[in-house]
Homo-oligomer: A and B are copies of this chain.
Amino acid sequence: MRRICVDMDEVMADTLSEHLRRYNQEFDESLTPEDLTGKGLWEMTPLDRQQQLRAFLDAEDFFEDLPLMPGAQEVLKGLSERFEIFIATQAMSVPNSLGPKYRWLQRHFPFIPPTNYVFCGNKSILRADYLIDDLPRNLQRFEGHGVLYTAPHNKNVTGFTRVDDWQQVARFFATERD
């Protein structure tokens, strides 16, 4: 059985929506995902607000209740019958997220055993056939086949297999051998 690693933030979980919601509420702004085309929220944020931007992530409840990306559950359930699914998430830069991420995965993806969770930093450590991730630098370091999951910040990036949503993930793997 071939192995797929799946990133959490911006791929399984809609982390950006929650970050924007807190940002807009705190600073009385109305930024949308479209405003972030080609750049990250960090680059758009004035220096004097960056500390607060980081504090949102450190809050105990941030990663606990993130909304799901539409279709992630159904498509991963289907793929788990043909492929070995591992979750690979960068958690080490926000250590407060470790517990909440674990519980979120258990709640929303009970068919993926915790033995297949990988909380890491540098994704070059992953031994797998595929990695679905929104960050080009993670895919560059990965030695298997990288699949770029579209997010506002990566819209202008080229050179990777790209999927815009979970329906496209399903279509891509439908023709890959398992």
Interface residues of A, Cβ cutoff 8 Å to B: 5, 86, 88, 91-93, 95-96, 98-99, 102-103, 113-122, 124-128, 143
Copies of this protein in the assembly total 2
With CB as the reference atom, state the residue of chain B lying closest to A143.
Answer: B127
With CB as the reference atom, state the residue of chain B lying closest to A86.
Answer: B125
**Are A115 and B126 touching (Cβ within 8 A)?**
no
CB-CB nearest 7 A-B residue pairs = A115-B121, A98-B98, A127-B127, A92-B114, A119-B119, A118-B120, A95-B102
With CB as the reference atom, state the residue of chain B lying closest to A115.
Answer: B121
A143 to chain B, nearest CB (A): 7
**Are B121 and A117 touching (Cβ within 8 A)?**
yes
Q: Which residues of B contact A113 (CB under 8 A)?
A: 121
Q: Which residues of B contact A102 (CB under 8 A)?
A: 92, 95, 98
**Are B125 and A121 touching (Cβ within 8 A)?**
no
- Known A-B contacts A95-B102, A127-B127, A127-B143; A115 and B119 likewise in contact (beta carbons under 8 Å): no
With CB as the reference atom, state the residue of chain B lying closest to A124.
Answer: B127
Residue in A86, A113, A120 with the greatest tally of chain B CB atoms within 10 Å:
A120
17 more contacts with CB within 8 A, not counting A98-B119, A116-B121, are: A5-B125, A91-B119, A92-B115, A92-B117, A93-B114, A93-B115, A95-B99, A95-B102, A96-B99, A98-B99, A113-B121, A114-B121, A115-B122, A116-B122, A118-B119, A118-B125, A120-B120
